[in-house]
C-alpha cells in the first residue's frame, strides 16, 4: 500500500538485475527518482537500444550491433590466432591484461550435458566452419578452470587437432602474490604437477 504503482513497478523491475535484492532495488529506485531523473532516462534509453540492437557477431559470437564485430573486422589483429573464452566479459579482461593481438571466439557458456548445453548451444559448428576455412593456425583455450570448462577445452582441443591447428591452454597455478599456505588444494596440486623448468 505504501508505494504508488509506478514506484512499485520500478522496484520490481530492478529485481531482474543480478545481485539486486528487495532492499537494493528500493535504494536504486529512490536514488534515481529523488536525485537523478536524467540518469534514469539515460538508462532507459540505453536498455531499450541495447535490448533491441545488440545481437551476436557471425564470426566470434561476441555481443555486437553489427553483423561482424569490430575486432573480427579489424586488419590490426592477427586472424590466424583464436582465443576461446566462455563469456564476452572475458574478452575485456584479456584485452586489458595482455597484449594479445589475435581474435576471439565466445562460447557463451560451457559444455554441461545435464543442463542441456551441448556443442550446438556453444556454436561449435560455427567454430568448425572457421577451422575448415584454413585461416586459423592456432587456438588458445581460455575457458575457466572448472570441471565443465576443462571438458569444453578438451572437446575443442580435439576438434582443433583434427583440423591440424596448434592448441595451447592458458596456465593455471598459484596466482601472483598468492600465499601457498592459503591456496586451495586443487590449485596447489595442479601447480605442483604442472611445474616448469626454471633457471
For helices 37-53 and 22-35, angle between their N-to-C axes, nearest 10 degrees: 120
For helices 22-35 and 5-14, angle between their N-to-C axes, nearest 10 degrees: 120
- 91 versus 139: smaller Cβ distance to a copy of itself: 91
User: What strand order describes the sheet that includes 102-106?
Assistant: 102-106, 78-85, 138-141, 166-169
Q: Which stretch binds a copy of itself (CB under 8 A): 26-34, 136-144, 168-176, 183-191?
A: 26-34
| Minimum distance from residue 158 beta carbon to a copy of itself (Å) | 26
**How many alpha carbons fall within 13 Å on the CB side of residue 32?**
17
For residue 175, the 8-state DSSP code is P
Burial class from Cβ neighbours inside 10 Å (0-12, 13-18, 19+) for residue 101 reads exposed
| Minimum distance from residue 25 beta carbon to a copy of itself (Å) | 10
- 64 versus 143: smaller Cβ distance to a copy of itself: 64
Determine which residue in the list 21, 58, 67, 95 makes contact with a copy of itself, applying CB under 8 A.
95
Determine which residue in the list 12, 58, 125, 158 makes contact with a copy of itself, applying CB under 8 A.
12
Task: Provide the binding-site residues for a copy of itself, judged by CB under 8 A.
Answer: 1-7, 9-10, 12-14, 16-19, 24, 26-34, 36-37, 39-54, 63-66, 69-71, 87-89, 91-92, 95, 108
Amino acid at each position: 500500500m505504501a508505494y504508488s504503482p509506478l514506484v512499485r513497478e520500478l522496484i520490481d523491475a530492478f529485481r531482474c538485475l543480478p545481485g539486486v535484492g528487495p532492499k537494493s532495488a528500493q535504494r536504486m529506485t529512490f536514488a534515481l527518482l529523488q536525485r537523478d531523473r536524467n540518469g534514469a532516462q539515460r538508462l532507459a534509453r540505453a536498455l531499450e537500444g541495447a535490448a533491441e540492437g545488440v545481437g551476436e557477431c557471425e564470426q566470434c559470437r561476441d555481443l555486437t550491433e553489427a553483423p561482424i564485430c569490430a575486432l573480427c573486422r579489424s586488419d590490426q589483429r592477427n586472424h590466424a590466432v583464436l582465443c576461446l573464452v566462455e563469456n564476452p566479459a572475458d574478452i575485456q579482461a584479456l584485452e586489458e591484461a595482455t597484449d594479445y593481438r589475435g581474435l576471439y571466439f565466445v562460447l557463451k557458456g560451457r559444455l554441461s550435458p545435464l543442463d542441456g548445453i551441448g556443442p550446438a548451444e556453444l556454436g561449435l559448428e560455427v567454430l568448425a566452419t572457421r577451422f575448415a576455412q584454413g585461416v586459423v593456425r592456432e587456438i588458445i583455450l581460455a575457458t575457466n578452470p572448472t570441471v565443465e570448462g576443462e571438458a569444453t577445452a578438451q572437446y575443442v582441443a580435439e576438434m582443433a587437432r583434427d583440423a591440424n591447428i596448434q592448441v595451447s591452454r592458458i596456465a593455471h597455478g598459484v596466482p601472483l602474490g598468492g600465499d601457498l599456505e592459503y591456496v586451495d588444494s586443487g590449485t596447489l596440486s595442479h601447480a605442483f604437477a604442472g611445474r616448469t623448468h626454471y633457471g
